Amino acid sequence: MANNHILLVSFSGQGHINPSLQFAKRLLQMGAKVTFCTSLSSIRRMSKTASIIPGLTLAPFSDGYDNGWTTADNVEEFFISFRTCGTEAVTNLIMAKEKEGHPFTHVVYSTLITWAGEVANRFRIPSTLLWNQPASVFYVYYLYFNKIVDFKGENSEVVELPGLPLVLSSCDLPSFMQSSSPVVYNFSLPLLIEHLEILDRAVDKQKVLVNTFDALEFETLRAITKYDLMGIGPLIPSAFLDGKDPLDTSFGGDLIEKTVDYMNWLNLKDELSVIYVSFGSYSNLSEQQMEEVANGLIKSHKPFLWVIRDGKSGAKQEENNRVSWMKEVEKQGMIVPWCCQLEVLSHPSVGCFLTHSGWNSCIESLASGVPIVAFPQWADQPMNSKLVQDYWKTGVRVAAATDGGIVTADEIARCLGIVMGGGERGEDMRKQAKKWKNLAKEAVIEGGSSNVSLRVFMDQIAGANQSSSS
C-alpha cells in the first residue's frame, strides 16, 4: 500500500470536506500516501479551527474567491471560476509530482468536482468518484439521464424504481429534477450528467465510492451493473462510530469555529428530552419561515439547541435589533452559531434532530441512533427525507403549505410531537434508529461491509499500480 499516492480533490463546501477528510484518514491508516486538494479559502479556515491530520499533505489552490464564497455571490460564476482554477491547479500538481519522481497513482474526486476526473483521464491516471449522497440518489440520476425511467414531474404521478421497493412522487425527487427548481441552479443537471460521462471515459473499472453502507442500501448499491458502487461509510470520526480510535473526535476540517459552550447546557437536560435543530452550512430560511420554526419549537414544550449561523439570512442579530420571537426562543432553548454536530447527536439528552436532511446530517443521525424531523430545502434533501421516513423509518417529513411553501408552526410542532412523544409511532422510530446505529458500527469494524469494501478498493488500485509499473 505504501506505493499508493492518492490525490483526493474535494469541493470546498463543508458537506464535501468532512467525508473527504474522513476518507483520507482511512486511506492513511491503510498505508497510502494522501494529498488533499481544495480551495485556499477553505484550507485557511480549517487551519484556524481544526487539528492537522497526521500524515496528510495539503494542496490548496486559489479558486478566485480567496475570502470565501457566500450565498450572496453568483453561484454559476463561482462554479466556473472554481473549475477553471482547479483544473489548472490539479494539472500543475500532477506534473510537478511526476517531475519529482513521486507521481500520483490514483485520483479520487468528490461530488461536483467533475473536472478532476477529466484531468486524471488526460494523464491516464485511474480515478474514482467519491459520492457524498445516498446511493439511491445516484441511482435516480442514472435512471433519469439514461432515460430508463420517465420522470414526468407531475404532482399526481408516482414513479417506481426498478429493483427497489421504493415509490417516489415528484416532491420526493432531487430538487434539480423538479419543475419548481430555481433558475439559478440550472447548471446543476449538466454537471451531474458530466459525472456519468466521465465515469464512462475512465481509464480503469468504473468505480463509485459511496458514503453509505450495505445494510442501509444493499439493493441500490447493486442495482446499476454498469458501475461498481461500493459502500464505504459512514464516513464519520471513529470516536462517534466504532470507538476504535477515541482520539478521532473531529473530521479535521471545520470551516466555522465553535465559540459557545453548549455541552454544560446539554448535561443539565433529561435523557432524550432535547430537540437539536440545524439547517446545515448553506441553507437560509426566510424570516417568515424562521419565525414559524421558532413558534413550532415553543409549541413543542421541549428544550432545544438551535444552530443559527451568524451573518446569514434569519441569523442571530445584535441584542438591540432582535426580532420578538428570538426572546421567546431563548427562554426555552439555546441558540449557538455553530457546534460539533456529532458531539451533540451522541449526547444522551438529545432525542430528536430537526434537520434540512442533507446527507451528512442524515447519516450522522442514523449512526448516532437519533430520529429525525425532516425539513428538506433543495438538492438531494427531498429524497433523503423520503428515505428517512418511508424506507429506513427513523423519522417524519414536514408538510409545506401550498401557498408559498411555508411550513407552519403547527405542522412543525405536530411532527416533533410524533417523534418526541410517547406514542407507538415515535417508539418505533427510536427502535429503528437504534437498529441503524448498531448496523452502522458493524459496517466499519474489521470484517464489516464498509471495511471490506475499502480494503478491496485499496487492493484494486495497488494491483493496477503494480501492473502499470511492470
Q: Is 16 a catalytic residue?
A: yes
Collapse the DSSP code of 461 into the 3-class scheme (helix H, G, I; strand E, B; otherwise coil) and give the result: helix
C-alpha angle 393-207-132 in degrees, rounded to nearest 5: 40
Rounded CA gap, 40 and 60, in Å?
A: 5
Residues 6+ apart with CB under 8 A from 434: 369
CA angle 283, 9, 365 (to 5 degrees): 45
- Residue 68 is placed in which grid cell? 470565501
Nearest CA to 302 among 241, 254, 374, 352? Answer: 352
In this structure, what C-alpha cell is assigned to residue 92?
500543475
Cell of 430: 427510536
For strands 33-37 and 333-336, give the pairing.
Answer: unpaired
Q: How far apart are CA 468 and CA 452, in angstroms?
A: 24
Beta-carbon contacts of residue 97 (< 8 Å; ≥ 6 apart) = 5, 103, 104
Q: E-strand spans in 261-308? A: 274-278, 304-307
From 5, 16, 106, 195, the catalytic residue: 16
**Cell for 274?**
432535547
**C-beta separation of 437 from 217 below 8 A:** no
* 27 SS3 class: helix
- Catalytically active residues, by annotation: 16
